[in-house]
Structure 1
């Protein structure tokens, strides 16, 4: 691992987190193709490397939300309690019964592309705001478990999936962002630990690329804090459009990769 790679990882993590943290996305889902294509991290080690990024990067934005008094509450608890068992299940699936990457790309494209476009279009007209108490508890838990499992398999924190879904249901971004970032951080800690244990019994490149993951994470730590500072100064409509555009862009990216 040379110094240029470490500097590149730090800058990539900083830039991605600064852009995605205001809408509750850690940026891991955007960092994943960078680690595969630019830094040539092998499979399945790229998954725990991405989780390691979330572990190091997460506290920056979370600390800002905590000092601002926006961290915590029932939504955060429900998401964390649902995603934690899911990420352990996802790690086991990744190591012992790995589905091909095409499945993941199809899932992301089919979910996020229409969701992102719908979120952008709905922002153009008034949307009834919902409180957390209006959401179905069992449905929210099932969603969190599912997203946690997907995150454990592919090394994404889950905010890129949870955020558009919850905001699309009318929950304000200011409520969603700290909750999804907290769930991302918690599941990443558990997921990275699960992969470390599985590397003792599995074969192949299972352990994370520690140096690259730490470099990207330190950049994300700084960028996430900056993004969380920026969030209160952006109007709700702008945050909704940002989240919608990110979701749609991811859907398009993975759809193109599937078609190739």
Structure 2
């Protein structure tokens, strides 16, 4: 099957199958898998035009909504955090898309950029793995509570059956202004700087706009490690931010495409939809099977894949004559 915008020919069953496999594993770690789908498109399919970033964002648009709806249903969507993420990443996405077309159209340069981003993500994951034992010992009470609640949900146990007293689905915003974002969840309070979240989201938006991933896989580790927010309350917000900014990114690539008639800028919708369909199924099944796979094994696998891919992209740039 020929995808004219992408300039490649591939069997129609390959994109959804690959997206399914990637999302199945990455969704266990709470990531859509877009950051790994891009290297596949570039290295395996030979899709190196600037439009590959926009096509990757089409994947996010199709695959993410089911995850967002699930977080909303479970009462774990921190809307103030989600809106600040959107406000910060939106202008960043536009700037990143412009930088991708104007300054990173060369495949070799863009692969270096992709490699640096992947190496950063892999480094963060490796660092978290090394700290795992210490974190387990000092795990906050809220973490232990939620682990038991999540276990009960997975095996269809009611909250009343769990030992102890737990306040479930009690996420309340206590402050939302230009200074702080504060909320309570399961009896514990969390508070972050409005401008700290906004600034981080802006920087991540620039990277995500050029890379075509929306930025959720970068901003989530920052929220957890730097701002000290629990992952089970930031995952929904980062997914929502990724979804909205991906829509904006695709729209922007369409708008600027006429100004670059000599290169492919707008997304390949057919290819993006095929990836998205496979990703949607992979995310659903990955979330279902997560309880059967040790989290450490999942993170080790992802870390190895990311760092290997990053080195493959960065090394040729410096070894070239």
Q: Write out per-residue CA displacement over residues 83-128 of structure 1, whole angstroms, 9 at most, x where no aligned residue.
A: 1111111111112232722541453255224322211112211356
Match of residue 315 from structure 2: 259
SS state of the match for residue 167, structure 1? helix
CA-to-aligned-CA distance 1:62-88 (integer Å, 9 cap, x gap): 222222222343322222221111111
1:1-260 alignment runs, 5 A limit: 1=1, 5-98=11-104, 100-105=109-114, 107-126=116-135, 127=138, 133-169=190-226, 170-203=228-261, 204-229=263-288, 233=291, 239=295, 242-243=298-299, 246-247=302-303, 249-260=305-316
Bigger share in strand = 2
- Report the alpha carbon displacement of residue 26 of structure 1 after superposing the two structures with TM: 1.4
Unaligned runs of 5+ residues in structure 1 are none
Conserved 8 A contact 2:112-2:313: no
Deviations along 1:13-69, whole A, 9 cap, x unmatched?
A: 122222222433211110001111222223111111101111111112122222222
Cα distance in 2, alignment partners of residues 76 and 210 from structure 1: 27
Q: 1:67 to 1:20 in 2, by over 3 A?
A: same
| Aligned-partner Cα distance in 1 for 2:120–2:307 | 7
Compute the TM-score of the two structures, normalised by the length of structure 2: 0.71
Cα deviation code 1:170-192 (max 9, x no counterpart): 43221232122111111100000
Relative to structure 1, is the Cα distance of residues 85 and 243 closer, same or farther in structure 2, using a 3 angstrom cutoff? farther
Q: Is the 8 A contact 2:32 2:60 kept in 1?
A: yes
DSSP-derived class of the 1:134 partner: strand
Q: Which has the higher helix share?
A: 1
CA shift in 2, pair 1:105/1:154, >3 Å? closer
Distance 1:250 1:80, change over 3 A: same
Question: What SS does the aligned partner of 2:21 have?
Answer: helix
Larger-gyration structure (1/2)? 2
- Are the structure 2 counterparts of residues 109 and 32 from structure 1 closer, same or farther at C-alpha, using a change threshold of 3 Å? closer
CA distance 1:159–1:230, change in 2 (3 Å)? farther
How many residues are treated as equivalent by the alignment?
257
- 8 Å CA contact 1:52, 1:217 repeated in 2: yes
5+ long unaligned stretches in structure 2: 3-8, 143-181, 184-189, 317-321
RMSD (Å) for aligned C-alpha atoms: 2.7
